[in-house]
Chain A
Amino acid sequence: MLNRIRNFSIIAHIDHGKSTLADRLLQTTGALTEREMKEQVLDKMDLEREKGITIKLQPVRINYKASDGQDYILNLIDTPGHVDFTYEVSRSLASCEGALLVVDASQGIEAQTLANVYLAMDLDLEIIGVVNKIDLPGAEPDKVKEEMENVLGIEQAEIIPISAKLGLGIEEVLEAIVANVPAPVGDIDKPFKALIFDSFFDSYKGAISYIRVVDGEVRKNDIIKMMSTDQDFEVAEIGVLTPVMTEVDKLRAGEVGYLAAGIKNVADTKVGDTITLANRSADAPVPGYKEIKPMVYCGLYPIENNDFEKLRDSLEKLELNDASLFYEPENSEALGFGFRCGFLGLLHLEIIKERLEREYDLNLLATAPSVVYKINLTDGSEIFVQNPNHWPEPQKIEAVMEPYVKASIMVPNDYVGTVMELCQEKRGNFITMEYITTLRVLLTYKLPLSEILYDFFDSLKSRTRGYASLDYELDDYEVSDLVKLDIMLNGDIVDALSFIIHKDRSYYQARAIVEKLRKIIPRQMYEVVIQASIGNKIIARESIKAMRKDVLAKCYGGDITRKKKLLEKQKEGKKRMKQIGQVEVPKDAFMTVLNIEND
């Protein structure tokens, strides 16, 4: 039985056609009819389709009759492509024995191709090379194959040229999976043992876990035990994803599927936990995932103060679906009660915020993101600060350190100069430069994480006409000359607008922010003075004149309905504002501190 199962992922640089290939595999094997087929079937969330990216990993079972005449079960675990979600990639890879490596025939190897291949190699996965988009006019499959052999050590002869869009080479890919990906190893006679590699919350069934069964088998009504918490649950439903949820009698060693056990508390199905049976327990858990640490933090606050509890519930539910999400309650003088949340990156932040707003019907405000700073205090102790409002008094600070990343940037050699310039501007330290091919260069820089987070990627893309690609991993902390910049409205510091910045950039940035706030805060009944300060020193100032006109010149019988609607709409508009002291501030204001350089 086990030897008829193949568990595999697809890895690729973003936009190299991973989701299209997944769609095509489903279609070719008849897992979906033409009618059910819509683009990016596996990207379930509206957000994913809109943004054209994969955020959540997504397993699906494919039945395939191979050319050897045998029926196989292929479990495909889709993976996200954006660098923010590397953690999700590593989790799905851990549930597989093989990976399809997709490389675009006109783009060649990119920074994330490398990063993903290294992840797969670390896990000893069998890698099957695929060159995609061979139908495109600019395709150079032979050149890309050569690159893959030289850089990644994949033999050219083994690499399959395909066009996922046109459905070319799909059979060959399926055959290669059967032939080359090792069958899972596992012992059907041992006690049931399964790894939770993802989970989500269903309002009818409770928490649903995606599992990879390592040993033994599980059936409906079995009493299972979560090994990290020792909690018992009765299995209510097990099944596979085809990709629709389809109930089955049992899940056995080597198989991938889902499990529901009426689990109400989301914290009881931790991703990375091992499930076993209560009365016949496995002796040791599967090695889980290393606990991921968020790279960037920000405050999320409900616009309506009484939505705080609703936000808490929503975060709890989302957390189940997103193991990398971190949150804890915090209190802002300006914004009231909210949560300090940790994210893998800015895209992750944006997506979580949008999901909370769409799926849980919340109206949220996000404060400026911050990385985690390390501060040595004069009393000899060391603290970590991810909230600018916890920044110590300057006189208590011995040294401040900020996180740096090691960034790999793949770029055509024509653009090396401009990329180096950009890295320099972003306070980067050059490490190495390697020629991957005669025309393509891999630059390695150490850069402050805070500089990468905001607009680095956009600048990189625009300066290289889209040709550069980026991957990065957290490196270590380095001493840096950082200060806390406060923004004041009518003389009062707005804690939610404070942020940490390199001293050399503080004046420029302060002026830009104050100017921008002047533009986006509407006129109020009173004059509003906006100031930026470091410590007690004001370094920038703008003012918004008091509103002088808010009147309907004409109001007679014929148009009163329309005028009333206008007033009501304006009143609604005020709900998108946050009252801070006497000042009404649009909720976007809190993110603007980020977007200064894009203007």
Chain B
Amino acid sequence: MDLLEVKTMGLYIHFPFCLSKCSYCDFYSIPLTNQEQIEAYILSLLIEIKLQADYYQDFLIKTVYLGGGTPSLMEDRQFFLLINTISNNFKLADDVEITIEANPKTLSEDKLKSFFTTGLNRVSLGVQSFYANELKILGRNNKLTDIYETIALINKLNFKNYNIDLIYGIPFQTRESWLANLEIAISLNPAHISAYLLQLEPSTRLGQRVLNNEIIMLDEEMEEMMYYDSIDFLAKHNYQHYEISNFCKHNYQSKHNMIYWHNSPYLGLGVGAVSLVGKERCINKPEVVEYINCLAAGYMPPREVLEVMTDKEIIAEAIIMGLRLIDGINIKDFSLRYNIDLLQAYKQPIRECLDKKLLNMENGHLKLAKNAYFLSNQVFRQFIGD
């Protein structure tokens, strides 16, 4: 089996700075104190891009994704430098998808225009909610008007390919207010909607408040209803459900995220960024000062190998990532790609999940049953570990 055969890859660029940290967020992010921080960071990124690119000259870059943090805090000049350096050093596909994550309040008309000119063709907007009380619980720093202004701007520039991130399961949220959120979202006509269940991380401010009983989470039944409400509602409005938490208009899937779900290679650049190349997944150590210092001195920032997978582990990962897609796994393609007989190799767990009606087999695809979307870990656990 040669897993290195696939010669395309995605680039993920991490931008760690945020204006302030949201109450539910446990990602690596740094509160922004001055613009010089960004400048120093971008310069380091440019060096890392050049250093890394040498190793990946055979790869065609299909997607570039700027995530964070809040990458939309970047100035247009910085964005230009970044994209320009990438395209000068890597081989970009003609139809390369270039996405930036943006928060309302951080984008001006000039900046956005300039981004587009530079090559940006997808925006993922962190809206989370269209209700002020919900934004407050989430500790978001923007106002409702910021959201509407930013979206108005995108629509004014006649830009289609953008995503709205929404969160449901927020304490005090009702089934009605969630549906109203969806209603507002579709009225703004985004090409893509991500609807995420609020996941409580104990280390976050919100996590602590819940642990201290200052605030209570919604019960499972309510969360489940909200989830299936979103699927039904969005389907009715021509948003195709294509991954557990993701919906899009026809042909507007996030190409970059599809790389993750297809277990294809990706290279992470920037502090805290994760790469998967071959059987190895590694992370640039999440230490921004060290990162900048290393690159300023001309060598690679410290990296940590997260895992070196066995063939079996790669396959297990490909299964659980693949099953996140609503279309599931194409059994024939999968078996060819990994040189195994999927149905035979995982006979017992597949049988069990089919019996429990958690999985379906349809047209040569193995996929989650609809009622199992919200119970999908029950399926994934069957394939993982020993």
Contact = CB atoms under 8 A, between A and B. Distances in A.
Contacts of A560: 260, 281, 317, 321
Contacts of A561: 274, 281, 306-307
Interface residues of B, number: 39
Contacts of B97: none
A554 interface: yes
B224 interface: yes
B245 to A, nearest CB: 5
A570 B379 CA distance: 12
A557 interface: yes
A548 B268 contact: no
A555 B321 contact: yes
B306 A552 contact: no
Nearest to B380: A567
A571 B385 CA distance: 8
B12 A557 contact: yes
Residue among A547, A551, A553, A557 facing the most chain B CB atoms (10 A cut-off): A557
Contacts of B177: none
A45 interface: no
A564 B244 contact: no
B373 interface: yes
B159 interface: no
Contact of A558 (B274, B320, B324, B374): B274
A551 B268 contact: no
A550 interface: yes
A577 to B, nearest CB: 13
A556 B273 CA distance: 12
Interface in A570-599: 570-572, 574
Contacts of B259: 557
Contacts of B116: none
Contacts of A558: 12, 67, 268, 272-274
Nearest to B375: A550
Nearest to A549: B220
A8 to B, nearest CB: 56
Given A548-B224, A564-B384, A571-B384, A557 B274 contact: yes
Given A525-B356, A547-B220, A553 B245 contact: yes
B199 A571 contact: no
Contacts of A572: 385
Contacts of B307: 561
B377 A552 contact: yes
Given A556-B257, A558-B273, A561-B281, A550 B377 contact: yes
Contacts of A523: 220
A568 interface: yes
B80 interface: no
A548 B385 contact: no
B171 to A, nearest CB: 15
Interface in B305-325: 306-307, 317, 320-321, 324
B221 interface: yes
A560 B274 CA distance: 10
A561 B316 CA distance: 12
Given A555-B321, A558-B273, A560-B321, A549 B376 contact: no
B143 interface: no
B148 interface: no
A564 B317 contact: yes
A574 B384 CA distance: 13
Contact of B384 (A554, A557, A568): A568
Interface string B8-46: 000010000000000000000000000000000000000
Given A556-B257, A556-B260, A551 B374 contact: yes
B56 to A, nearest CB: 16
Contact of B324 (A525, A550, A555, A567): A555
A559 B245 CA distance: 16
Interface in B210-243: 220-221, 223-224
Contacts of A552: 199, 244, 376-377
Contacts of A551: 197, 244, 373-377
B348 interface: no
A525 B259 CA distance: 32
Contacts of A549: 197, 220, 223-224, 374-375
A15 B260 CA distance: 62
A327 B306 CA distance: 48
A555 B199 CA distance: 12
A551 B199 CA distance: 10
B247 interface: no
Nearest to B194: A554
Given A550-B377, A570-B381, A571-B385, A557 B224 contact: no
- What are the 7 closest A-B residue pairs judged by CB atoms, nearest first? A548-B220, A553-B197, A548-B224, A549-B220, A550-B377, A561-B306, A557-B260
30 contacts: A523-B220, A525-B356, A525-B375, A548-B224, A549-B223, A549-B375, A550-B376, A550-B378, A551-B244, A552-B199, A552-B244, A553-B197, A553-B199, A554-B245, A556-B260, A557-B12, A557-B259, A557-B268, A557-B274, A557-B276, A558-B67, A558-B268, A558-B272, A561-B274, A561-B307, A564-B317, A567-B377, A567-B380, A570-B381, A571-B385
Given A549-B197, A561-B274, 12 more contacts: A548-B223, A550-B375, A551-B374, A552-B244, A553-B245, A554-B196, A557-B12, A557-B259, A557-B260, A557-B274, A558-B274, A564-B317
Interface of B: 12, 67, 196-199, 220-221, 223-224, 244-245, 257, 259-260, 266, 268, 272-274, 276, 281, 306-307, 317, 320-321, 324, 356, 373-378, 380-381, 384-385
